[in-house]
Amino acid sequence: MDSIVIQHEPSWEWYRTFLAVLETGSLSAAGRAIGISQPTAGRHIDGLESALALKLFTRSSDGFSPTSAAYEIAPYAVNLAAMSAALLRKASEGSTHIGGTVRLTVSEVIGVEVLPPILSALRNQHPELVVEMILSNQVDDLLRRDADIAIRMYRPTQNALIARQVGGIEVGLYAHRSYLATHGSPDSLEDLASHTLIGFDRETAFIRGFLKQFPTFARPGLAFRADSELAQLAVMRAGFGIGVCQSTVAARDSALIRVLPSAFSVHMDTWVAMHEDLRNSARCQVVFNALAEGLRMHSQNCQVPMPNVC
C-alpha cells in the first residue's frame, strides 16, 4: 500500500464503525451491531476515508464491498480494537470490586458444552461481571492480551503467565446408536478402516502426535472432515459415523454409545492460564479460580470409567 498522508487524526469510533461495516457489509447492519444509526455509520466511513485519503468501500445496491485498501488497514484496526478493550480492562484492575469485563479464549467444546454452568454460577455470585468468550482451537497469545484467561489442553510455556493444571479430560470414540444399529460396532481398531470416520481437516502438532498412535484417523480415511469440534459432534449426533468426543460430554447424550473403550482412551491435560500482570485484578482472579475449580470437578468426572455398552 502506498504511503498515506493523514489529513487529520481519525477518531477511534470511525475505526470501530469501519470494522463493523467490513464484517456486516452494510451501514444499517453495522449500526445495529455497535448501537449507532445508519446515517452516523455513514458519516464515520466518509470521515475515515477523507482522513486517510483512501477509498475503503465500493458502494452498490448489494451493500458495501471492501477495497484492497480496506483489507490492508483492517489488521491495524483490529489491533486498535484489542488495545482499546485491554485498556478498559486495565483501568479497573486495581479495584477490589468484582465487576467489569473478563475475556476468555477456550476450545469450542469446552466453551459450549462445559463452561456455561460454571459461568452461570459465577454470574449469580457476581452479577456485575461481563464475560467475553473467544471460541477457538487456535493459540491466542495471552502475552499480547488478546484475552485475559485461556483454557488449553497443553501446558503454557510463556514465562510471563500464571498457569494452573486442573486435571485431565478423557476422550473416547463414540457413535450414535442409529449408526451402530445399521453398521454394527467395530471389534478392534483395525475394524475402524471399514467404518465411516469423523475427524479433523487440517493437521496440527497435536493431530500429528495423535495420528502416530491412531493412524486409522489419517485424513484420507475420513468421511467427514472439519476443524470445528462442534461440527464433528453435530454429525456424530446425527448418526453420520464414529468420532472422538469428551467422555463426560458424550455421557449426557444417551444416544451416543462408546466404542472400543479399552482400545481407545486419551487423557488430555487441562490448564487455566492468565497473564501475570492480572494477578492483582480482583475480577480476573475470581474468574480464574472459578474456572480452575469447575474444570477440576469436570476432569474428575471425566476419569470415571465408562461402561462398555456396545
Say whether pLDDT at 6 is over 80.
Answer: no
- Count Cβ neighbours within 10 Å for each residue of 203-239 and write b for 16 or more, e otherwise: eeeebeebbeebebbeeeebebebeebeebbebbbeb
| CB-CB neighbours of 276 under 10 Å | 15
Looking up cell 458502494, which residue turns up?
A: 59
Residue pLDDT, tens place only, 110-147: 999 999 999 999 999 999 999 999 888 665 566 566 78
Cα–chain center distance at 5: 38
Which pLDDT does position 91 carry in this prediction? 60
Residues 6+ apart with CB under 8 A from 35: none
d(CA 115, CA 121): 10
Instruction: Please tell me the least confidently modeled range out of 102-116, 208-222, 242-256, 292-306.
Output: 292-306
- What pTM, to 2 d.p., does this model score? 0.63
d(CA 85, CA 65): 27
d(CA 294, CA 291): 5
Residue pLDDT, tens place only, 32-43: 888 889 999 999
d(CA 17, CA 44): 7
User: Average pLDDT of the chain?
Assistant: 85
Average pLDDT over residues 208-221: 88
| CB-CB neighbours of 95 under 10 Å | 13
Instruction: Give all domains of the chain, ordered by start, each with its CATH number.
Output: 12-92 (1.10.10.10), 100-167+269-302 (3.40.190.10), 168-266 (3.40.190.10)
Cα–chain center distance at 201: 17
- Please say whether the dihedral angle defined by the alpha carbons of residues 200, 202, 206 and 211, taken in this order, is positive or negative: positive
- Residue 289 has, within 13 A of its CA and on its CB side, a CA count of 7
d(CA 167, CA 98): 27
